[in-house]
Amino acid sequence: MNPVNADMHCHSTVSDGWLTPTEVVRRAVSNGVDLLALTDHDETGGLDEAATAAAGSGLRLLPGVEISVSWHGDTVHVVGLGIDPGCSELLEGLRTLRAGRDERARRISNELDRVGIHDAFEGACRFARNPALVSRAHFARHIVSTGLMADVQTVFQYYLAKGKPGYVEHEWAALADAVRWIRAAGGVAVIAHPGRYRLAGGELEALLEEFVALGGEGVEVVSGCSLEGEVERIATLARRYGLLASRASDFHGPDESPADIGGCENLPPDLEPVWTRFATASGSRNAKKP
Ligand code: AMP
Ligand code: MN
Ligand code: MN
Ligand code: MN
C-alpha cells in the first residue's frame, strides 16, 4: 500500500501564500493529497474557507497555524496541527503577534529607504491580501516586481535575511507561549523547517530539548526546503528526542516554492508520522506515491 500523502504545512493569501485557501485545497486535491494542514503565519482566518472547499472532496483538512517565535535572539517557527480555531487563548495570542507586524513592516521600509529602495511599505502592501499580515515575503515580491532583483531568494540574500540592510530585530512569541497556545487549542506543536535555522553547534539540540520539556511533540523531518543530507540529520534528532515526524511542503506558490503541495519525499519508514495523532476510523484515500 502506498503511504498516505500528508502535507502538514502550507500557506494561503491569508498570510504570504499566493493562492486563496480554496485554491490551495483544490491544488492539494488535484495533486492527490489525502491529508492537508493549512498553516498560515500567526493567523487562522483561512481555515473556514479551506474547510468549505475541502468538504466532499475526499481530502481531509487539519486546521493549523505557523507561529513566529523568538528564541535566544533567533526566529524559529512552530506549527500547530489539529488546533481548535475557536480557542480564545490561541486567538488572543495570535492577535497580539499580528499587532506587531505593521510597525515592523514600517521599520523594514525605513531601513530599505536608507539603501535606496523607496516606498517599500506601500509596495509590500500591494502584495499582501491580508493587511494585518505583511511579511518579508511581500517585501521580497515587491522588490522583484521593480526589476531590482531576479527572484525572492536573491532579495533575502541581499536585503532581508538577518544581518542584511532591510532586516530589523523583532520580538515574536516566547517558545513556551507558542506551545501553550497550541496545546490549549488541543493541537500538536511541531518545530518547522529545523534545517533552515542558522543555529550554532548544539543549539538545535538545545531548542528541541526545551521544546519537548514544554510539551512540544513533533519536528518537520521532511520539509520543502530540505537540503542534501538534511532529512537523515533531522531524523536522527527525531529519534533521539522521541519526536513525531512531520512532512511539510511549506508551499507558498507555484513559481516560488521548491516543493508543490504534497510533493515532498516520504518520511523515513521507522519514524512515527505526526498524523497518526489524527487518525480516524474512516481512514482516507490512498495516495499516488509522490
Ligand atoms: P516574516 O514572518 O515576515 O519574517 O517572513 C518570513 C517569510 O519570508 C517566510 O515564511 C518565507 O515565506 C519568507 N522567507 C524567509 N526566508 C526566505 C528565503 N531565504 N527565501 C525565500 N523566502 C524566504
Ligand atoms: Mn511565509
Ligand atoms: Mn516558516
Ligand atoms: Mn511556512
Mean pLDDT of 90-103: 98
Cβ-proximal residues to 110 (8 Å cutoff; 6+ apart), any chain: none
Beta strands in 182-241 (DSSP E): 188-191, 218-223
Asked if 60 contacts 38 with a C-beta cutoff of 8 angstroms, the reply is no
State which of 79, 156, 169, 252 you would mutate to test the pocket of ligand 1, scoring each by most atoms of that ligand within 8 A of its C-beta.
Answer: 156
**Cβ atoms of 21 and 129 closer than 8 Å:** no
Summarize the confidence of residues 130-134 as an average pLDDT. 97
* Protein fold of 101-160: DNA polymerase; domain 1 (1.10.150)
Q: Which ligand is the nearest neighbour of the Cα of 77?
A: 3
Ramachandran bin of 272, using left for φ above 0, alpha for ψ from -120 to 50, beta for the remaining angles:
beta
Q: What is the pTM of this model?
A: 0.96
Protein residue closest via CA to atom 14 of ligand 1 = 137
Which one, of 194, 236, 224, 217, lies nearest residue 71 by Cα? 194
Which residue's C-alpha comes closest to atom 3 of ligand 1?
135
pLDDT range class, residue 228, cuts 50, 70, 90: confident
Mean pLDDT, residues 179-207: 96
Cell of 143: 522588490
More confident residue, 288 or 213: 213
Q: How far is residue 268's CA from residue 111's CA, in Å, rounded to a whole number?
A: 43
Cα 137 to chain centroid, rounded = 12
pLDDT at position 290: 41
Q: Which of 12, 13, 16, 164 to mutate to test ligand 1, by most ligand atoms within 8 A of the CB atom?
A: 16
Question: Please, which pLDDT band fits residue 2 given cuts at 50, 70 and 90?
Answer: low
Reported in sequence order, the residue ranges of the chain that DSSP labels E, i.e. its strands, are 6-7, 35-38, 60-71, 74-81, 173-174, 188-191, 218-223, 244-248
Residue 256 burial class via C-beta count within 10 angstroms: exposed 0-12, middle 13-18, buried 19 and up:
middle
pLDDT at 282 over 80: no
Second CATH level (architecture) for the domain 6-97+173-277:
Alpha-Beta Barrel (3.20)
Ligand at shortest distance from the CA of 195: 3
Strands 6-7 and 35-38: parallel
User: According to the model, what pLDDT value does residue 55 have?
Assistant: 98
Domain ranges for the chain: 6-97+173-277, 101-160
What average pLDDT does the structure give for the chain? 95
